[in-house]
Chains A and B, each alone.
Chain A
Amino acid sequence: MVGWPRTTDYHGSPFIPLERKEGEMRVRIATLVTVFVAVALLVSACGPAVTPTEAPEGTPRPQPEATPTSPVPAPELGRDPNTLIISTYEGIAGIDPPGFPSASGSLVQRGVYETLLTATPSGELELVLAESYDVNEENTVWTFHLREGVKFHDGTAFNAQAVKDNYIRTVEIELGLSGVIGRFLSDPENQMVVIDDYTIEFRFDQPQPFFADALASSYGAWIVSPTAFTEHDVEGDWAHDWLDTHAVGTGAYVLEEFRPVEQITLVSFDDYWRGWEGKHFDTVLLKVMEDISLNRQLLEKGDVDIVVKVTPEDFEALQGNPDLVVHQDFGLKYTIVFMGCYGPLASPEARQAMSYAFDYDGYVNGIQMGQVQRLYGPFTSTQFGYDPDIFKYETDLEKAAELLEEAGVEPGTELVWLTSGHYAPDAELLMQAQLEQLGLRLRIEKVDSASQFTTIFSDLPIEGRFSFADMAWWPDYDDPWNAAQALYHSENWGLKGANGSYYANDRADDLLDMMRVAGTKEEIEALATEFQNVLTEQDPPCIWVGEDPDKTIHRTDIKGYEFVPLYTETYPLYNLYRE
């Protein structure tokens, strides 16, 4: 017998005949397709409504306008109310204070470590591990009177010797952030003098008006238990490997568990010197969530209490949610586009042209949906020394064309934009459209963020370097010299620092050198004013793109949150509580 068996051939066989009337087959297929399409439509309808809008002129593609949805009803907190859960978007790579932590790493450090001083929301400094300090008339000797009765998490007593030992380590370990304190302490052993158990002097050859600000920095100024770094020293590494994954400070929280790609657990330190009267969290969990689009769901469902970052669309959508508090605070963080000061952009005129060419409105109001504000120079508007009368570039293609001709940049010239999409997403597309109108070509090189970072801050020969590269930046503390030195001094080209543009302007160098040794903040402010003028109107090394706000969102039952401009994307964990 050939062909398929029929059901009647075999008793009980469920086999059905292959031949079917054609009409029946078509009906079945049509029914199935209809059912499938209906299910797909139903499932799609379950998502939030997104209404595409007309794109503003100049933007490379339309940006969907986020429509606030009905908020998910406030859930019962089905978890321990004494645990604070924070969602952070970056893995936490290394928390040794003089190292190079991510912003999320600083979040951990701020919970477990303390400094002698700290910055307030208004930018003033207040005392933490120091009870008071005096400065002599010449501003060259700073005497700190330390708080008594403070212990490190390992039981070591906090005292003047601990401070000295810690800062010797910070300077001599020679890691990425050693220079924050190292700038002031070229000879730490002799410049720091222990007067008694709770008094320490810092001695300088010249006035140091920003020394106190540096001591309040969240980069490099944290005080680590000397017992910890002595006991865990391996082959003279100052316990760096160990302290990258452990923390022994005087802070309110102890690092209980460190799973840097996943979750960090902090628990309250019973012997914390401030005590635990009043409302505080017992436990803080920092969860690493690389997919920031999930943060909105987590917040609305109550599975996290605070998120550090959401997408611009979610930020808009969450504004109307009565269960959440949405903060948008501008501090010291900003985004720039390095311009290579070589090749076609070697001349100041060519870079001025690029500064006129960029579509600022398209970036600020289009891509970033109005959630950033314009940056006009090397300092943000909240930075000490910022000049509000600074020269401001606006988009002007005619002016750009004139300057290009003056600079001798020929039509058809190809420029290269290096990006990972991490810092100024899609800004390169805006520029590509603008340059096309000027007769120039922009080739976009998209790489991962690690490659972008190391390429910018490398000593690649000029032939292989970019014309443009976007980057985010913020200073270690509120000092114009600290904000600018690494990026714009000619001694910091290539591997020597962060001067990714290979910028070299003699006047800018002189001004930075003068700022470094200036005796008063007023002098530095005056120098900073001229410095900003050089870097904007005269010889711009960067396109000044935007000031990036902290966009923290938390549930309404979380109280005690305060934004401090100096401490980007970190929180005063001890002050937070649930009500």
Chain B
Amino acid sequence: MSRFLIQRIPLTIVVLWVLTVITFTLSHIIPTDPARLMAGPKASPATLERIRHRYRLDRPLLEQYATYVTRLFQGDLGRSMVSRRPVAQDLKEFFPATVELVLLAMTIAVVGGLSVGVLTAVYRGGLMDHLGRLFSVAGLSMPAFWLGLLVQLLVYYRLGWLPFGERISTDLSAFNHPTGLFTVDAILAGRLDAFVDVVKHLIMPATVLSLEPLAVIARLTRASMLEVMLQDYIRTARAKGLREQVVLARHALKNALLPTVTMIGMQIGWALGGSVLVEVIFNWPGVGRYAAKSILSADHSAVMAITLLIAATYLVANMVVDVLYVTLDPRISY
């Protein structure tokens, strides 16, 4: 296992490096002028030159790339034109917000998806199966941005049950945020009122974000369960007189989980990317919303950093998934 992990690290680095080349090249091909964007239309040519010189935009592309990579290793991700702050500082603020959102969304997706998948498989052909499959198809078909607007209109505007968005109510936000995960920070600060408020703010965006991965996981779990339930060892388990719940949980589900776990890893990546629209709709101050703003403002430094961050998170998530295989199936070893 250690050897496996050690072998994966250089591969991960290579993937990330290729990504820097691609994003750097693409961001410099797009016809924008960061100096003009920063200085405005009335800035003199001398001012524009000074800005370009300051940010090394007047250097050859290869030299700019080399400088970028060197600074990357020093933890310097450049300065955002959108926020006028170091990109690293921005990401430190926005990334935990996205992590919190995605974590809850994926928790809902995994728990919900596995439950629906198992139930629809077990009650195959029945009403539960039809409802479950309808739910899955709906989850896959409805775009997150449309669903988000609809949910916001209904739950916030019409019913007034939940806040419109953001992470926390203004008058409850005054406590330390050491982790950036407001749920955790509220507990650490002993603020139950803030914790409840944060959860209320999380419900709508997390639910909307969870629906597509939930649908995917449900469908895959169902198919996988149906296949596993046909196996001889299941018949054997039943023949031994085990209760059906034990057969399903210990024998069927565990074996059915392998492809599902792979999909969960991929869905984490989807959720990170899919959070852009959800964060914009719910005014969630996460990396997705920051990415949307950065892309529209041609903020190259921020765009490249966000791309690397999401890619790195995705790669780590999939590495964890690979490790989980060993736990689920002892026959697998690296």
Residues in chain A within 8 A of chain B (CB atoms): 5, 10, 12-18, 20, 28-29, 32, 36, 43, 46-47, 72, 79-80, 83, 85, 91, 93-94, 99-100, 174-179, 241, 244-245, 259-263, 285, 287, 289-291, 293-294, 297-298, 300-301, 303, 448-451, 453-458, 460, 486, 495-498
Q: Which residues of B contact A72 (CB under 8 A)?
A: 157
Q: State the CA gap A47–B296 with chains docked (Å).
A: 30
Q: In this complex, what residue of B is CB-closest to A471?
A: B41
Identify B32's interface contact among A12, A285, A454, A496, CB under 8 A. A454
**Contact of B44 with A259 in the complex, beta carbons under 8 Å:** no
Q: In this complex, what residue of B is CB-closest to A476?
A: B42
**Contact of B93 with A259 in the complex, beta carbons under 8 Å:** yes
Identify A18's interface contact among B125, B153, B289, CB under 8 A. B125
Which of B44, B130, B150, B153 is most buried by chain A, counting CB atoms within 10 A of its CB? B44
Q: State the CA gap A28–B149 with chains docked (Å).
A: 31
Query: Is the CB of B62 closer than 8 A to any CB of chain A?
Result: no
One digit per residue, 1 when the CB lies within 8 angstroms of any chain A CB and 0 when it does not, for chain B 25-36 equals 000001111001
Nearest chain A CB to B65 CB, angstrom units:
21
Which of A20, A93, A259, A293 is most buried by chain B, counting CB atoms within 10 A of its CB? A93
Question: Assuming A261-B289, A297-B164, what are 5 further A-B pairs, CB within 8 angstroms?
Answer: A15-B124, A16-B125, A241-B79, A245-B84, A287-B166
**Contact of A497 with B41 in the complex, beta carbons under 8 Å:** yes
**Contact of A457 with B50 in the complex, beta carbons under 8 Å:** no
**Contact of B134 with A32 in the complex, beta carbons under 8 Å:** yes
21 inter-chain pairs at a CB distance below 8 angstroms, sorted by A residue, are A15-B124, A16-B125, A29-B130, A80-B170, A85-B170, A93-B81, A99-B38, A174-B46, A177-B42, A241-B84, A261-B289, A290-B292, A297-B153, A297-B156, A303-B163, A450-B298, A451-B30, A451-B31, A453-B37, A457-B41, A496-B44
Main SS of the interface on chain B?
Answer: helix
Q: In this complex, what residue of B is CB-closest to A178?
A: B47
Q: State the CA gap A453–B32 with chains docked (Å).
A: 8
Contact (A260, B83) CB under 8 Å given A36-B134, A79-B171, A80-B171: yes
**Contact of A454 with B164 in the complex, beta carbons under 8 Å:** no
Q: In this complex, what residue of A is CB-closest to B47?
A: A174
Query: Is the CB of B160 closer than 8 A to any CB of chain A?
Result: yes
Identify B298's interface contact among A14, A18, A297, A454, CB under 8 A. A454
Q: State the CA gap A99–B38 with chains docked (Å).
A: 8
**Contact of B244 with A12 in the complex, beta carbons under 8 Å:** yes
Contact (A449, B285) CB under 8 Å given A241-B84, A301-B156: no
Complex A-B, nearest 7 residue pairs according to Cβ-Cβ distance, in ascending order: A100-B40, A176-B40, A450-B298, A498-B41, A454-B33, A244-B84, A262-B285
**Contact of B296 with A450 in the complex, beta carbons under 8 Å:** yes
**Contact of A261 with B157 in the complex, beta carbons under 8 Å:** no
Q: Which residues of B contact A79 (CB under 8 A)?
A: 169-171
Contact (A449, B296) CB under 8 Å given A46-B153, A498-B42: yes
Query: Is the CB of B267 closer than 8 A to any CB of chain A?
Result: no
Size class of the contact patch on chain B? 35 or more
Q: In this complex, what residue of B is CB-closest to A40?
A: B138
Q: In this complex, what residue of A is CB-closest to B234?
A: A5
**Contact of A14 with B123 in the complex, beta carbons under 8 Å:** yes
Q: State the CA gap A289–B15 with chains docked (Å).
A: 35
Query: Is the CB of B43 closer than 8 A to any CB of chain A?
Result: yes
Q: In this complex, what residue of B is CB-closest to A304?
A: B164
Main SS of the interface on chain A?
Answer: loop
Total CB contacts across the A-B interface at under 8 A = 174
Q: State the CA gap A14–B94 with chains docked (Å).
A: 47
Which of B46, B47, B283 is most buried by chain A, counting CB atoms within 10 A of its CB? B283
Nearest chain A CB to B222 CB, angstrom units:
14
**Contact of B243 with A12 in the complex, beta carbons under 8 Å:** yes
Nearest chain A CB to B42 CB, angstrom units:
5
Q: State the CA gap A457–B152 with chains docked (Å).
A: 39
Identify A297's interface contact among B43, B82, B157, CB under 8 A. B157
Query: Is the CB of B280 closer than 8 A to any CB of chain A?
Result: yes
Query: Is the CB of B297 closer than 8 A to any CB of chain A?
Result: yes
Q: Which residues of A contact B79 (CB under 8 A)?
A: 241
Nearest chain B CB to A184 CB, angstrom units:
15
Query: Is the CB of B69 closer than 8 A to any CB of chain A?
Result: no
Q: Which residues of B contact A176 (CB under 8 A)?
A: 39-43, 47
Q: Which residues of B contact A16 (CB under 8 A)?
A: 123-126
Q: In this complex, what residue of B is CB-closest to A19?
A: B125
Q: Which residues of B contact A303 (CB under 8 A)?
A: 163-164
Q: Which residues of B contact A285 (CB under 8 A)?
A: 170
**Contact of A93 with B84 in the complex, beta carbons under 8 Å:** yes
Q: State the CA gap A410–B40 with chains docked (Å).
A: 37
In B195-241, the 8 Å CB interface with A consists of 229, 235, 238
Nearest chain B CB to A560 CB, angstrom units:
21
Which of B82, B125, B150, B235 is most buried by chain A, counting CB atoms within 10 A of its CB? B125
Q: Which residues of A contact B280 (CB under 8 A)?
A: 290-291
Q: Which residues of A contact B44 (CB under 8 A)?
A: 174, 179, 496
In B64-90, the 8 Å CB interface with A consists of 79, 81-85, 90
**Contact of B50 with A174 in the complex, beta carbons under 8 Å:** yes
Nearest chain B CB to A247 CB, angstrom units:
12
Q: In this complex, what residue of A is CB-closest to B230?
A: A4
Q: State the CA gap A496–B48 with chains docked (Å).
A: 9
Nearest chain A CB to B46 CB, angstrom units:
7
Query: Is the CB of B6 closer than 8 A to any CB of chain A?
Result: no
Query: Is the CB of B331 closer than 8 A to any CB of chain A?
Result: no
Query: Is the CB of B293 closer than 8 A to any CB of chain A?
Result: yes
**Contact of A32 with B131 in the complex, beta carbons under 8 Å:** yes
One digit per residue, 1 when the CB lies within 8 angstroms of any chain A CB and 0 when it does not, for chain B 124-150 equals 111100110010001000000000011
Which of A12, A85, A294 is most buried by chain B, counting CB atoms within 10 A of its CB? A294
**Contact of A261 with B83 in the complex, beta carbons under 8 Å:** yes
Q: State the CA gap A458–B131 with chains docked (Å).
A: 58
Q: State the CA gap A178–B48 with chains docked (Å).
A: 13
Nearest chain A CB to B144 CB, angstrom units:
14
Query: Is the CB of B310 closer than 8 A to any CB of chain A?
Result: no
Query: Is the CB of B281 closer than 8 A to any CB of chain A?
Result: yes
